[in-house]
Structure 1
Amino acid sequence: MLPWIQLDSAPIPGESGELRLKRRGSEFSIMLGSNELMNNRLSGSEEALATLTYEKIRKHPRPTILIGGLGMGFTLRAALSVLPESASVIVAELVPAVVNWARGAMSEVFQGCLDDPRVTIHQGDVGELLRGRKDAFDAILLDVDNGPDGLTRRSNDRLYDAAGLRAAKTALLPDGVLAVWSSGPDAGFTRRLCDCGFAVEAVNTRANGKRGGARHVIWLAVK
């Protein structure tokens, strides 16, 4: 079996940890310590984050979408595959190196999707981008950290607390959707969404889509 080779590492702004990009043949992995955050062979649930959301906003004309977290581009590519040419997609990515990896070492994984004219990259915290916005987005897709239970960055918890959810709701247009990816269920988070006035659906999905894999959860919260 081919050995893993570390290609690069990058600090996480505001935290002591660092991300590590590794490769083994055609397989890529992004690690935080001993935890694998993502792998290009396991993309099913991240793709579902985009496609399930689009089903909720299919009738919205000229949709504007905010994606929190670039990762390996699974959610972005899936969104571009279903969104109309009139759509706009803003991707907020906190770690500059992740964008560099997308254009460099992992360019074969991203397949040029960052060059799609519908896409704008925002370098920074998605939570800061949301705050103060009103009726700005048809959908907000959060694939940040490990879900509501933060792993990579403690301040990510502010995205998922009551104040963060209210900010997201304010930033959504009427009938807009807040979609949240998580590595597992969280009954408390479901309650917080409901308490903020969202109509909430929690969807179980698999890491590798129809081929199985670990069980993940996607919340679809409609304003």
Structure 2
Amino acid sequence: MCRSLPLIPRVLLGSAPVPGGEGELHLFRRGADFAISVSTMPGELMNSRMHASEDALAQLGCAPVAGRQAARVLVGGLGMGFTLAEALRQLGPDARVVVAELVLQVVDWNRGELGECAGWPLRDPRVEVRVGDVGAVMREAGPFDAIVLDVDNGPEGLTRDENGRLYSPAGLRSAWAALRPGGVLAVWSAHPAPAFTRKLERAGFRVRLKQVRERVGKGAVHTVWVGEKG
């Protein structure tokens, strides 16, 4: 007689309201895996087993400037810390990385048990955390050699209307102004958005696209835009 294996229960570890949006963020743990979901959306927003595209985002955004002395990088959106962790691996010991995260509880989760997933990147002395809107941080804390944006689900925001401003023509002009010459803007998206490519080009960026899997060799295909400031 076959016996079914017991299901590992999913445990809610924390909740946080979405600032300026609807619903709540929820942090869950199931065994060794973590997931963050939004109460107003089906499924998961992110999962600790699927972060290959976040790694690729940081690689594409940071590798071109990694050789610069005292490179300064802005990471927009902390999430589960994988983008930040990969950025730190790409950059030298004299680099400085500013992380802009809108939700204070997400920072707390990454300083707690969630931080183990990405190797505790917030403990790196090169990191400065700013709790607030990434657009404001971009304007106030520049200039940067690279800006890496993993905010919402990409240019077509789902959780917060204000995120659309970040990817608007005015928002892209702000990104351009916040970058040093030869700087890089890298943007992650869960879905393709051809119109966004044209927006980046109109803002003055030289653009290339990269399609990456959410897991190495499998899973959903995500899009990363890499825009270089000429």
Query: Is TM > 0.5 for Structure 1 vs Structure 2?
Result: yes
TM superposition score category, shorter chain reference: over 0.9
Question: How far did residue 133 of structure 1 move?
Answer: 5.8
Question: How far did residue 35 of structure 1 move?
Answer: 3.5
| Map of 2:4 onto structure 1 | none
Q: Distance in 2 between matches of 1:107 and 1:46?
A: 16
Q: Is 1:142 aligned with 2:149? A: yes
| Map of 2:23 onto structure 1 | 17
Q: Distance in 2 between matches of 1:146 and 1:112?
A: 24
Q: Is 1:199 aligned with 2:206? A: yes
Q: Percent same amino acid at aligned positions?
A: 50
TM-score normalised over the length of structure 1: 0.95
Q: Is 1:29 aligned with 2:35? A: yes
| Map of 2:97 onto structure 1 | 89
Q: Does the CA contact (< 8 Å) of 2:67 and 2:92 recur in 1?
A: no
Q: Distance in 2 between matches of 1:169 and 1:89?
A: 18
1:182 to 147, 166, 189: 189
Question: How far did residue 115 of structure 1 move?
Answer: 1.3
Structure 1 spans left out of the alignment, 5+ residues: none
| Map of 2:164 onto structure 1 | 157
* 1:75-125 Cα shifts (integer Å, max 9, x gaps): 111111121001000000000000111111313214222111100000101
Aligned length: 221
1:50 to 40, 48, 58: 58
Q: Distance in 1 between matches of 2:109 and 2:63?
A: 30
Q: Does the CA contact (< 8 Å) of 2:22 and 2:159 recur in 1?
A: no
Shifted more, 102-111 versus 35-44: the winner is: 102-111
Q: Distance in 2 between matches of 1:118 and 1:61?
A: 14
Partner secondary structure for residue 195 of structure 2: helix
Q: Distance in 2 between matches of 1:194 and 1:133?
A: 24
Q: Does the CA contact (< 8 Å) of 2:80 and 2:118 recur in 1?
A: yes
Partner secondary structure for residue 219 of structure 2: coil
Partner secondary structure for residue 44 of structure 2: strand
Give the structure with higher Rg (CA).
2
Letter in structure 2 aligned against 1:45: S
RMSD: 1.2
Letter in structure 2 aligned against 1:70: L
| Map of 1:124 onto structure 2 | 132
Q: Does the CA contact (< 8 Å) of 1:132 and 1:167 recur in 2?
A: no
Question: How far did residue 8 of structure 1 move?
Answer: 1.1
Partner secondary structure for residue 29 of structure 1: strand
Letter in structure 2 aligned against 1:107: G
Distance 1:196 1:30, change over 3 A: same
* 1:171-214 Cα shifts (integer Å, max 9, x gaps): 000000010000011010000000111000011011013x3211
